[in-house]
Amino acid sequence: MTAVLSRPPSDRRAGSARLGALLVAPTVLVLAVVVAYPTVQAVWQSLYGARGIDPESGFVDDTEPFVGLDNYAVLFTSAGDRFWNALANTVFLTGTSVALEIVLGVGMALIMHQALRGRGLVRAGILIPWAIPTAIVALLWRWIFNADGLANAILPGQVLWTSEGLHAKLAVVFADVWKTAPFVGLLVLAGLQVIPKEVDEAARVDGAGSWRRLRSITLPLVKPALLVAVLFRVLDALRMFDMPYVLIGARKESVETLSMLAHDEASNVRFGPGAAYAVILFVFVFLVAFAFVKLLGADVVGDAGKGVRSRKTRRAKVIA
């Protein structure tokens, strides 16, 4: 101990840097194996095309041809229509379902926060959809959206929900919102519970109505938790696969997402194009996540200029 203390400060800093490197090494190693390697492998794989068939023998070639960026270039030809459609579907399904989930989730959180009697029961009830595996939820809703299912029994007319069209998109959004709004609700509830009661009481004393208190006190204070919830949901929804796949079916133009497209390519033994779609989806998700974090950061800095930094930081600490 004394030896360490007697060392010059710069040496001590180098020593603790070494120790730090040693401590994070296992994590870095695990990340390299489970994150970096598959990513590099996928990018590399995406540079290969599908195997050809020898017209003479009828056998499939042993090797995959190296095609460079062809798998990406092809997206800008007419053959890329399916990709752009899948991208549009992914964005549409993510946008609509996450927006609805936020509104409903906040509503649920406010109810869960308020409910005094039967609070546990209400919370458990709201969380049930989140606890059911997505594939099971999709099967459940498939049954409801059947030609002679519950949805058609309640609604006027007969809508063939699982056939192509806007109704298929709506069915997916509906089922997805049903399943994941509780998740948003849970995260927002956590945010609500750390808001000090005094703030709300002070506003009440000042004569603020309940709408005013919601808008000016509750929502701004719960915003950091809400943003994390939105980030989680957006990243999750961009990878949406099982809900449309099980509820509506494979290869349906109306609901085919990028994940489904990559899966379809890979299951037809075209790992190159499949990997290309996966890489594009990864980059897309990464950019969205990055933009989100940037926006989150920009917000804090932006407010700081107006002199509310200290308050904001304190709030952030409370939430985090």
Partner 1 sequence: MHTTRARIAAGALTAAVVVGLTSCASAGGGAPARGGGFEGRGPINYVAGKDVSGTFRGVVDQWNREHPDEKVTFVELPEQSDQQRQQHIQNAQTRSDANAVIALDVVWTAEFAANRWIEPLPEEQFPLDQTLPPVVEGAKYRGVLYAAPAWADGGLLFYRTDLLAEAGIDKPPTTWARLRSQCGQVLALPNAAGMSCYAGQFEKYEGLTVNFAEAVQSAGGAIVDENGKPTVDTPQAKRGLDFLVDGFKSGLIPRPAITFQEEQGRQAFQKGQLVFHRQWPYQHALASKTDGSSAVAGKFDVAPLPGADGPGSSSLGGWNLAVSSFAKNKATALDFVKYMTSAQRQRQNLEAASLAPTYTSLYDDPELVRAFPYLPTLKASIMTAQPRPRVVRYGDAAGAIQDEAYAALTGVKSSEAALADLQGRLDKITGGR
Residue 191 interacts with partner 1 (CB under 8 A): yes or no: no
Nearer to partner 1, 19 or 291 (CB): 291
Cα 2–chain centre separation: 51
User: Per CB under 8 A, does 313 bind partner 1?
Assistant: yes
- Phi then psi for 115, rounded to 5 degrees? -50, 125
d(CA 120, CA 226): 22
Interacting residues of 151 by C-beta distance below 8 A, sequence separation 6+: 144, 145, 159, 161
Q: How far apart are CA 174 and CA 179, in angstroms?
A: 9
Q: How far is the CB of 108 from partner 1 (least distance, A)?
A: 23
Residues 243, 88: Cα–Cα separation, whole Å? 17
Cα 124 to Cα 108, 112, 128, 265, distances in angstroms: 12, 10, 6, 40
**Could you say whether residue 54 binds partner 1 (CB under 8 A)?**
yes
Nearer to partner 1, 204 or 239 (CB): 239
> Which of residues 7, 25, 41, 119 is near partner 1 by CB under 8 A?
41
Q: Which of residues 81-100 bind partner 1 (CB under 8 A)?
A: none
Of 15, 20, 38, 125, the one binding partner 1 (CB under 8 A) is 38
Question: Quick one: 204 or 263, whose CB is closer to partner 1?
Answer: 263
Radius of gyration, CA atoms only, the chain: 26
Nearest distance in Å: CB 123, partner 1: 24
Tell me the H-state helices in the chain: 2-6, 9-31, 37-45, 70-73, 81-114, 119-131, 134-144, 150-154, 166-193, 197-205, 210-213, 219-238, 242-247, 258-267, 271-304, 309-319
Does residue 216 touch partner 1 according to CB under 8 A? Answer: no
Query: Are 229 and 187 a contacting pair, CB within 8 Å?
Result: yes
Q: Maximum Cα–Cα distance for the chain, whole Å?
A: 88
Q: Which of residues 265-284 bind partner 1 (CB under 8 A)?
A: 266-269, 271, 274-275, 278-279, 281-282
Report in angstroms how near the CB of residue 93 gets to partner 1 at its nearest: 16
> Residues in contact with partner 1, total (CB under 8 A)?
67
- CA 113-237-91 angle, to 5 degrees, is 120
Which of the residues 119 through 178 are near partner 1 (CB under 8 A)?
146-148, 158, 160, 162-164
Three-state DSSP state, 147: coil
Question: Among 62, 77, 128, 310, which residue interacts with partner 1 (rule: CB under 8 A)?
Answer: 62
Asked if residue 263 binds partner 1 (CB under 8 A), the reply is: yes
In the complex with partner 1, the residue whose CB is nearer, 4 or 194, is: 194
Neighbours of 123 (CB within 10 A): 18
Task: Write the CA distances from 156 to 74, 169, 178, integer angstroms.
Answer: 44, 19, 22
The whole-angstrom separation of Cα 249 and Cα 132 is 20
Tell me: does residue 300 bind partner 1 (CB under 8 A). yes
> Exactly one of 12, 13, 215, 251 binds partner 1 (CB under 8 A); which one?
251
Q: Is 42 in the site for partner 1 (CB under 8 A)?
A: yes
The answer to whether 105 contacts partner 1 (rule: CB under 8 A) is no
Task: At 269, list the tokens.
Answer: 């033994």
Nearer to partner 1, 155 or 293 (CB): 293
Residue ranges that bind partner 1, judged by CB under 8 A: 31, 34-35, 38-39, 41-42, 45-46, 48, 51-55, 58-60, 62-64, 146-148, 158, 160, 162-164, 224, 228, 231-232, 235, 239, 249-252, 259, 262-264, 266-269, 271, 274-275, 278-279, 281-282, 285-286, 289-290, 292-293, 296-297, 300, 313, 316-317, 320
